[in-house]
Structure 1
Amino acid sequence: MPRSVRVRPEFILEVKSALPRNGYIRQTDLAEHLQISQSTISSFLNGRAVDYLNFREICRVLELEWQDIADLTTDLTFESRKNIFSSPLVSTTEENNKQTQEIFSSHSLEHPSGQVPLDSPFYIKRSPIEERCYEQIHKPGALIRIKAPRQMGKTSLLARVVNESHSQGDCTVILDFQLAAQEIFVNSDKFLRWFCASVGLALNIPNKLSEYWDLAEMLGSSMACKAYFEEYLLPTINKPLTLGLDEVDKVFEYPEIYRDFFGLLRALHEEGKRREIWKKLRLVIVHSTEVYVPLDINQSPFNVGLSIELPEFNNKQVLDLAQRYKLDLDETKVEKLMMLVGGHPFLIRFSLYHIANKNVTLTQILQNPTSSSSIYADHLRRQSLILTQKPELANAMKNVIINKSAKLPTVTKFKLHSLGLVKLQGNSVLPSCNLYNQYLQIHL
């Protein structure tokens, strides 16, 4: 059995969802329970290698079958370093020095899935976006809206904005709505209770919902939620609170909930313009698609604050990332890669990761990118599966592929855009990259 084990990439989302399902709102909660470092928990959740015994213990607590999700490939972190440093020739021969450098370089390559860690050398800034967000988050009552399709770097930017706030001494909480259990979305009352309880738990504040929720019977759940923050949570922490709300478009699917919840967020933001207690609340709202649900213009949080739409990487940024992977790719080679996958951050990083790991060459990638042996095979199958499960989206995507430039119903095109499958040009909808176009021509 190898000394270190990692979660297989296809199980990372399942592993992350096991955290709140088992009562751990934050990574630190699980780390404290197991008495291991938060960095180990973060590595486990993001598919990086951790000690075998820690791996099994985390799986036990999260009620996961460790054999089903484990990649048992031996990690160089433990065995290869040990072998190198046990040799007396390591520091005296050029060959061993080169081997050591290669091993450290290989270990530093992060599998490109999920959030890019805060200390990662592979995070590419899209200036001036980060700087604008950092400036905004320090303003009283700030509201930042981050929008982009899946795997474009929204959560990575959110983490950095929240970390910027934390570095100034503010309290910070991130809630991912995709990880909320389905039963939370039964009605507005239950959802807002969960919202208050989750924030309180993340702040390590005792739950006192029962003392405040009597108001719900007379004034409604939104007023009870507002009172809980105003009279209990914010006064208790006695410092600014930055609240990151990730994947809020999950709420779009529930009409009874989204009207109350988004109206509440807008109301709290407006309160921050008038009252000191609410100036302490800063909101960062992250979503994958355009707001296609009907909201009163005066009750929507999506038309106020700082709006950020993440663009794809440009040629210069892809070249920069290639250099960080220590790859010898010139502008011509970068252009060839971008002709296939565009500037999509995940697909670019995924490609460069496999080239740097010497799993494949750029020439091999370009020869047959949609084959079952391609590095993109699993990713493409997942995208196809999503469409298979939603026939209306599959039919719309067929229309896009066949007609090259299609006009679709508003909600449908926004949903396809949120998946990253299409790009919008005026009223027309186009495949977002040649890779998807080639694959879906065959498999739809």
Structure 2
Amino acid sequence: MKKLMHIEEAIELLQCLVFAKTDQHLDKVQIDVLRGAWENHTYDIIAETYCFSSAHVKTVGAKLWHLLSKVLGTKVNKKNVQVVLKRIARDWQQESSRRISSSPILELPGGQVPLDSPFYVERPPIEACSYHAILQPGALIRIYAPRQMGKTSLMARILEQARWQGNTTVTLNFKLANREVFTSLDKLLKWFCVSVGKSLGLSNQLADYWDEILGSKSNSTDYFENYLLAEIDSSLVLGLDEVDMVFQYPEIASDFFSLLRTWHEKAKYGDRRSYIWQKLKLVVVYATEDDAWLNLHESFNVGLPIALPEFTQEQVQDLARCYGLNWDADQVAQLMSLVGGYPYLVRTALHHIYYQDFTLEQFLPKSATQGRVYGEYVGRQFLKRQQNRELYTAFAQETSSPIPLELDCL
């Protein structure tokens, strides 16, 4: 992010940072006071503008500056709030520029972007909010977006941040589970418990904790509370990737996600066992390309939700620079008119332009047909739509159109 000059950007940033630190959002009155302070208005003018008493505005303001000081780790008051936020934005931009200036070893598009890669594009304030959130006891972060939007790459960076702070991290990809694992909740939770334990270097102790009378949700809770979490001194950050695999099995999905929610909430109970569950932090990653995720989204609405957006024009321009392309805004807009800000498609385009020494004008017509640059991606979209007869006709219209049309990511 190269600038943070507008109040709406400041509000978005602060809402994310405050939520990550306190699990709450700024309320309307606090936002009104922030707007007034951003415009250098006095408390009396703010009160008159938003129909509050001056005394009430001053009280809200004092509490707001105290809250922001705790969240940002620096003194914040009515006079310097704009300066503080601009400094944070500038620091982020300098770090981003430093990474971009590193000599790139060109990588193939697709898959997780390596931690040391200059091709990772930050989408502020998402990274900063996530890094704050994962440091909180019992944290839970949900990262969701269509496929190839950068979910796993973000998760890897959150886990790296957690490791820097002394946490133990484990990544578990649900695609590693055999189909048989998903035939019952009991099998899924046994696989889950043993897989996490193996990653921690702990032996399989299911026989000591699995009681058929109590049920698999209670058994897995005991396994984590009395064995896995008890055996490690630090907090445990679990990165759960490709969790949408569970969506395909609705008979077990609701129980599995309600269990994760219960574990997250146990950290807040304040009883003698809460401190154990405060050691468990979850980063849950899932794609949003199947309708089943909507049911989950409503019942699993806990923790910090991160809906990954497409790249902005500025972010696409930054990525182009990583490929040595000094594009102006018009050239970036030309590419985005074809692929939007979809990370995989943008990077695929830049990769082909760089390696095949195309100009943008040469690349655009080559990419518009199946079997060329985007053949694999278009083919997947075709198959997905063909499975739904109601969408097949619409897809035929899209592919036969003489002008680019925006495709629904879902």
Length-normalised TM-score, structure 1: 0.63
Question: Which residue in 1 is equivalent to 2:167?
Answer: 170
Distance 2:234 2:381 in 1: 43
Residue among 301, 308, 311 paired with 2:309? 311
Question: Which residue in 2 is equivalent to 1:327?
Answer: 325
Change (3 A) 1:292 1:320: closer
User: Does structure 1 retain, via aligned residues, the 8 Å contact 2:313–2:333?
Assistant: yes
Residue among 255, 263, 267 paired with 1:260? 255
Change (3 A) 1:140 1:437: closer
Question: Which residue in 2 is equivalent to 1:241?
Answer: 236
Distance 2:324 2:374 in 1: 22
Distance 1:224 1:296 in 2: 26
Residue among 108, 113, 117 paired with 1:116? 113
For residue 296 of structure 1, report the CA deviation from its aligned partner. 11
Question: Which residue in 2 is equivalent to 1:221?
Answer: 216
User: Does structure 2 retain, via aligned residues, the 8 Å contact 1:173–1:243?
Assistant: yes
Question: Which residue in 1 is equivalent to 2:125?
Answer: 128
Percent identity (aligned):
49
For residue 177 of structure 1, report the CA deviation from its aligned partner. 1.6
Distance 2:171 2:375 in 1: 32
Change (3 A) 1:259 1:363: same
Corresponding letter in the other structure for 1:361: T
User: Does structure 2 retain, via aligned residues, the 8 Å contact 1:187–1:257?
Assistant: yes
For residue 315 of structure 1, report the CA deviation from its aligned partner. 0.7
Structure with greater contact order relative to length (CA < 8 Å, sep ≥ 6): 2
1:181 partnered with 2:186: no
Change (3 A) 1:294 1:147: closer
Change (3 A) 1:372 1:133: closer
User: Does structure 1 retain, via aligned residues, the 8 Å contact 2:144–2:307?
Assistant: yes
User: Does structure 1 retain, via aligned residues, the 8 Å contact 2:141–2:303?
Assistant: yes
Corresponding letter in the other structure for 1:281: L
For residue 386 of structure 1, report the CA deviation from its aligned partner. 3.8
For residue 436 of structure 1, report the CA deviation from its aligned partner. 6.8
Question: Which residue in 2 is equivalent to 1:366?
Answer: 364
Written as runs of structure 1 = structure 2, the 5 A alignment for 1:141-152 is 141-152=138-149
Change (3 A) 1:292 1:322: closer
Distance 1:435 1:329 in 2: 23
For residue 361 of structure 1, report the CA deviation from its aligned partner. 3.1
Give SS of 2:238's match: strand
> Number of residues paired by the alignment?
299
Distance 1:293 1:121 in 2: 34
Distance 1:337 1:295 in 2: 35
For residue 371 of structure 1, report the CA deviation from its aligned partner. 2.8
Distance 2:247 2:267 in 1: 25
Structural RMSD (CA): 2.6
Deviations 1:327-357 (A, max 9, x none): 1321111111000000001100111111111
Distance 1:434 1:236 in 2: 56
Written as runs of structure 1 = structure 2, the 5 A alignment for 1:20-419 is 108-213=105-210, 215=211, 217-274=212-269, 275-289=274-288, 292=293, 294=295, 300=299, 302-358=300-356, 360-372=358-370, 374-388=372-386, 391-392=387-388, 394-399=389-394, 402=397
Corresponding letter in the other structure for 2:277: W
Give SS of 1:120's match: coil
Distance 1:324 1:436 in 2: 26
Give SS of 1:243's match: strand
Change (3 A) 1:295 1:371: closer
For residue 437 of structure 1, report the CA deviation from its aligned partner. 5.4
Distance 2:252 2:245 in 1: 11
For residue 209 of structure 1, report the CA deviation from its aligned partner. 1.0
Change (3 A) 1:377 1:400: closer
Change (3 A) 1:351 1:294: closer
User: Does structure 2 retain, via aligned residues, the 8 Å contact 1:145–1:285?
Assistant: yes
For residue 183 of structure 1, report the CA deviation from its aligned partner. 1.3
Length-normalised TM-score, structure 2: 0.68
Give SS of 1:287's match: strand
Change (3 A) 1:291 1:309: farther
Give SS of 1:283's match: strand
Corresponding letter in the other structure for 2:287: S
User: Does structure 2 retain, via aligned residues, the 8 Å contact 1:141–1:278?
Assistant: yes
Consecutive unaligned residues in structure 2, runs of 5 or more? 1-101
Give SS of 2:136's match: coil
For residue 270 of structure 1, report the CA deviation from its aligned partner. 0.8
User: Does structure 1 retain, via aligned residues, the 8 Å contact 2:182–2:188?
Assistant: yes
For residue 256 of structure 1, report the CA deviation from its aligned partner. 2.2
Corresponding letter in the other structure for 1:261: F
Give SS of 1:261's match: helix
Distance 2:385 2:143 in 1: 25
